[in-house]
């Protein structure tokens, strides 16, 4: 498949994923905001769970997982592909992590009576957010590209360790945050359960589309840098070796 057929920002595959994500989002909005009933205890604030938990999965598991895998492979192979993939995962993950924190605060206000508590789950999540912001800052540093990529990869691996704390914080410490939403003792059913899982499906599709496009941007930036470097080297060589008299240019 050629990008010349579909333009620089899309391919046929990414268009299919994009259309599926759009359709899935429309269904999520319909089911999540209109058709599903209020929950007995949480009332309508349960609807925030249809975007809060999927954002958490897209951020903490999918996006930061990609950054971790990309970082490990980069350190072993110096693969540009995985270096760029790790960067793409981190940027998308930070955005979804911001959504997790903000929608969690909005859910916490009617449920707990406060927007924020220094609870183990919330605190470890905000630490993750700051760690990956730091990762993106390292990516912006004016360093030799290989050094910058290596430092970012090391940070990508260290930051992933904190995600284990996020995952198990509700089990290791006394936490205001509820335990695993889905498990053996799940009490959701009907349209509430459907909306919840549809949200996860929708955000997985959105994440996949975003990852393809964010990687595409990173790839173009890498190629543009390589092209400008090639041009600079060629220009320098042309300056140093002027053509001889009578030689064709």
Partner 1 sequence: MHWQYVIPGYVIVFGGLAGYIWTLLARIRAVAEQVPEEKRAFLD
Cα 239 from Cα 242, distance rounded (Å):
6
Segment interacting with partner 1, rule: CB under 8 A, options 46-54, 68-76, 128-136, 240-248? 46-54
CB of 219 to partner 1, least distance (A): 5
> From the list 19, 23, 35, 43, which residue makes contact with partner 1 (rule: CB under 8 A)?
43
Residue from 44, 76, 179, 233 that binds partner 1 (CB under 8 A)? 44
Q: Of the candidates 91, 67, 90, 56, which has an alpha carbon nearest to the alpha carbon of residue 166?
A: 56
- Kindly state the number of chain residues that form the binding site for partner 1, as judged by CB under 8 A: 47
**Min CB(53)–partner 1 separation in Å:** 12
Q: Decide if residue 51 touches partner 1 (CB under 8 A).
A: yes
Candidates 72, 95, 165, 188; binder of partner 1 (CB under 8 A) is: 95
Q: What burial letters (b/e) apply to 106-133, b meaning 16+ CB within 10 Å?
A: ebbeebeeeeebebbbbbbbbebbebbe
**In b/e form, how buried is each residue of 153-173, taking b as 16+ CB within 10 angstroms?**
bebbbebbebbebbeebbeee
- Is residue 56 a contact residue for partner 1 (CB under 8 A)? no
Looking at residue 44, the DSSP 8-state letter turns out to be G
Tokens of 218: 């990173």
We find the least distance from the C-beta atom of residue 44 to partner 1, in angstroms, to be 5
Site for partner 1 in 162-201 (CB under 8 A): none
User: Under the criterion CB under 8 A, does residue 79 sit at the interface with partner 1?
Assistant: no
Q: Cβ 184 to partner 1, closest distance in Å?
A: 28
Task: Return the SS3 of 43.
Answer: strand
Residue 69 binds partner 1, judged by CB under 8 A: no
Sign, CA torsion 217/220/222/224 = negative
How distant, in Å, are the alpha carbons of 73, 101, 185, 209, 233 from that of 115? 39, 10, 27, 31, 56
CB of 167 to partner 1, least distance (A): 22
E strands, 77-167, where?
Answer: none
Residue 219 binding partner 1, by CB under 8 A: yes
Residues that bind partner 1 (CB under 8 A): 1-4, 8-9, 11-13, 25, 29, 33, 38, 42-45, 47-48, 51-52, 55, 95, 98-99, 102-103, 106-107, 109-110, 206, 210, 212-217, 219-221, 223-224, 226-228
């Amino acid at each position: 498949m050629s990008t010349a057929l579909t333009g620089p920002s899309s391919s046929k595959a990414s268009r299919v994923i994009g259309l599926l994500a759009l359709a899935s989002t429309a269904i999520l909005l319909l089911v999540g905001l209109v058709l599903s009933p209020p929950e007995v205890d949480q009332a309508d604030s349960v609807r925030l769970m249809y975007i809060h938990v999927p954002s958490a999965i897209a951020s903490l598991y999918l996006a930061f997982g990609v950054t971790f895998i990309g970082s490990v492979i980069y350190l072993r192979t110096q693969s540009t592909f995985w270096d760029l993939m790790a960067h793409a995962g981190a940027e998308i993950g930070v955005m979804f992590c911001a959504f997790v924190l903000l929608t969690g605060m909005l859910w916490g206000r009617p449920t707990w009576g406060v927007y924020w508590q220094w609870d183990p789950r919330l605190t470890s999540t905000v630490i993750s957010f700051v760690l990956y912001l730091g990762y993106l800052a390292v990516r912006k540093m004016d360093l030799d590209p290989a050094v910058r990529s290596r430092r970012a990869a090391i940070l990508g691996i260290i930051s992933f360790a904190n995600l284990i704390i996020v995952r198990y914080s509700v089990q290791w410490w006394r936490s205001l945050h509820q335990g695993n939403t889905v498990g053996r003792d799940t009490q959701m059913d009907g349209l509430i359960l459907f909306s919840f899982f549809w949200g996860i499906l929708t955000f997985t599709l959105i994440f996949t589309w975003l990852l393809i496009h964010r990687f595409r941007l990173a790839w173009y930036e890498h190629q543009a840098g390589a092209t400008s470097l090639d041009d600079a080297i060629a220009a320098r060589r042309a300056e140093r070796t002027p053509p001889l008299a009578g030689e064709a240019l």
